[in-house]
Chains A and B, each alone.
Chain A
Amino acid sequence: MVEKYWKLIVLIVMITLGIGTFYVTSAKTVTTYPEFGITHVNGDKAKIEEVIIQADYFRQNINQAALITTNNTLYRSEFSYVERLEGAFREPTIKRWEKDYKSFMRGKRGWLDSFYEDENYLVFGDIKINYNNVDASMKDSKLYVARLDKKTGEATSFEVKLPNSGEYYFANLQDIQFVDGKLKLIAMNGMENGGTAVHMYTLDMKSKKLIGDERIIGPEALPDNQNTEIMMLGQEFMTHKPNEYAVFRKVVIDETYSKEGDYQRQELANELIAYHYASGKTEQLKLPKKLEEQGQVSLFDGAHLYYTTPNEKGIDVIVYSITNQKIKNNYLVAIQVGANEELPYMTVKDDVLYVMKRMVDEENGATIQAFDAMTGTSVYEGKIGLKEENKAVDEFQLYLSQLQFDE
């Protein structure tokens, strides 16, 4: 019997051993990545509880993305197949919605820009781009909105024609807000005959109709060598929250080629335009001279602009209130930034300014600090580094790229 089948038996044994060993050992190697943690130095620990640090771990030729929280480190390969499939690194807020409102979230994959959430409602908006079969224009495109009443679980949705859509060659949804029973969708539209326009679409939830199409920033007639770049300020994790203002940076750029063929790029104008959601008023911000000279605004929290400049003592922060059109405060965040060191990651959320150094290696940890965004008072300080039991790991680098918030 065995004699007759020996080849088959050898093959089957080889298969079981080869493939079996590989998957058993690879399940074990996962645990060889070191654990990082945030150790408390001083301040209020609650400020850091929601924080998830997105990081990349490098050692020799290994490169693994990881998420670090106060309790643990999760490497990409530690996520299950299904988690990786769903997107292990997507925004924690979207993960939470998909868990809590599974049915409403169906077919609504995307970025936080497309959502709005307050205590009562979860709202989703989308510009459905449809290209016309005959002339390939966008004229059949639609605005789609859906709203979930979180208490009753009742969902309503409708779509309307995107007005004048034949004039655009692209339309990107920038943000959606819910003000006084009306949905406000901000879109950036590329005009077929040149330029970019920012539109505010207002939709009434009761009548399920489009009740307003307002052009906040219009396309400008510019010479051939000039063009405008418009950007909406804000951070990914705050666009779904109720915000007071939407702020745009508009830059007019002059591009020329000299006779020698050298490319020259010059900023002719650089202005900030604010839209107030509640009143529907648009205005160009008249910044004080001090800020004009500062150059680009660093952060925006929905109502304030933050200008940050590193100097030898730390990072100088100027807080500008859009409502009062005045500088509200100017303070120094005492954090040492070396001459060759990359600037720390900074972000503002719920009136807290987070400052995080970006590099961790076998010798140095990084710091994460939180300050009262209005006054600059330190509210938390922590150290990011290897956990005690992993201190033996040789040469590595951990690059901290940004923060997520798991609310």
Chain B
Amino acid sequence: MNRYIKLVNFEMNRIAKLYVVLLAVTFVSQVVGVIYFSKHFLKQVNEAMTGNPQNRQEVIESMSPLSFDQVTETLLFVGPILISITAVAFYIFIIWYRDWLGKNTFVYRLLMLPTARINVFFAKLTTILLMTFGLVAFQLMLLPFEMKIMQWIVPKDLRIDASINAVLDRFVELRIIFPESFIEFILHYGLGTIIVAIVFTFILFERSFRWKGIIFGFVYGFIAFMLLFSPVLLNELVLNSYLYPSEIVLLEVVAGIIVMACTVWMSHYLLTKKIRV
């Protein structure tokens, strides 16, 4: 356990600088976006009022008031989210390959640590999860702050104050990252974790058998995905929707646990018996 925490800490420290940059880019881009968009909106209102300032009421009625969901549709807001997703997706691979490709094959020392080698796997998986959850949490804390900024700039009669959930409801894709209920949060990110673990195993196949390993990895990945989605596939293709949706969710959870266990076991086997340095 202690070794595992040390490894996680070690992995986190290795990415910390880049990670802080990612958070900073998100912060700056989105805050600038909110300020720019709010000011731009006010400018439009002012232009509409030019000449007859008495017309404020009419202008307000003719223009639809600004609400935060309009801000979320701008590139300055969505951009950093897309960059973060891409960065984490890349790092799922880099977190392994940097140990091989770096100077003095660092992986040699890593695998020689007096601890079960699967801890290296768990530490890397945990790191990816912590990075992801950190970004999600950061965005969730940033949202109310950004809404406040919009409220400071745009007067009350020109804006709509909505809750975070109302904003997210209007931007369906964001609901994948920030699901409506905590159960869905666990299901979404549970699935994500399993997929990352399968990709890790794929990487370990490649690191164990190189070119041939890529083929093994794809075969393993295919089987794992088939097993993972077998409840849905069977219900649709063979059972004629025999199962109720809630039963499928339950079976999916079971399938997920089984696939996760197999993946961990396979990774353990590859790391202890087959890995090449």
Contacts and interface: CB of A to CB of B under 8 A. Distances in A.
A86 interface: yes
Interface stretch (A18-26, A205-213, A234-242, A295-303): A18-26
Interface residues of A, number: 32
Contact of B239 (A4, A12, A107): A107
A62 B133 contact: no
Nearest to B247: A106
B166 A81 contact: no
A4 B134 CA distance: 19
B96 interface: no
Given A18-B136, A85-B246, A107-B239, A61 B164 contact: no
A18 to B, nearest CB: 3
A81 B250 CA distance: 13
A11 B164 CA distance: 22
B69 A81 contact: no
B225 interface: no
Contacts of A289: none
A77 B138 contact: no
Interface in B144-173: 160-166, 169-170
B133 A19 contact: yes
B239 to A, nearest CB: 7
19 contacts: A15-B134, A15-B137, A17-B137, A17-B141, A19-B136, A22-B140, A23-B181, A23-B182, A29-B165, A61-B69, A61-B160, A61-B166, A62-B166, A62-B169, A80-B181, A81-B181, A86-B244, A86-B245, A107-B241
Given A18-B140, A82-B246, A107-B241, 11 more contacts: A15-B137, A18-B137, A18-B139, A60-B160, A62-B162, A62-B169, A81-B184, A82-B245, A85-B249, A106-B241, A109-B241
Contacts of A18: 136-141
A18 B5 CA distance: 22
A392 interface: no
B137 to A, nearest CB: 3
B8 to A, nearest CB: 7
B158 to A, nearest CB: 13
B130 interface: yes
A263 interface: no
B165 A26 contact: yes
B50 interface: no
A290 interface: no
A21 B140 contact: yes
A372 interface: no
Chain B: interface residue count, which band? 35 or more
Nearest to A13: B137
Given A7-B16, A11-B12, A85-B245, A61 B239 contact: no
A49 B189 CA distance: 43
B230 interface: no
B29 interface: no
A320 to B, nearest CB: 41
B73 interface: no
A15 B19 CA distance: 14
A5 B8 CA distance: 10
Given A19-B137, A61-B162, A12 B130 contact: yes
B243 interface: yes
A8 B164 CA distance: 28
Interface string A319-348: 000000000000000000000000000000
B183 interface: yes
A86 to B, nearest CB: 5
B49 to A, nearest CB: 23
Contact of A107 (B162, B183, B240): B240
B67 A60 contact: yes
A106 B242 contact: yes
Nearest to B239: A107
Interface string A118-149: 00000000000000000000000000000000
**CB-based closest 9 A-B pairs:** A18-B137, A85-B245, A60-B160, A15-B133, A107-B240, A18-B140, A15-B137, A23-B182, A22-B140
Interface string B225-251: 000000000000001111111100100
Interface string B161-204: 11111100110000000101111110000000000000000000
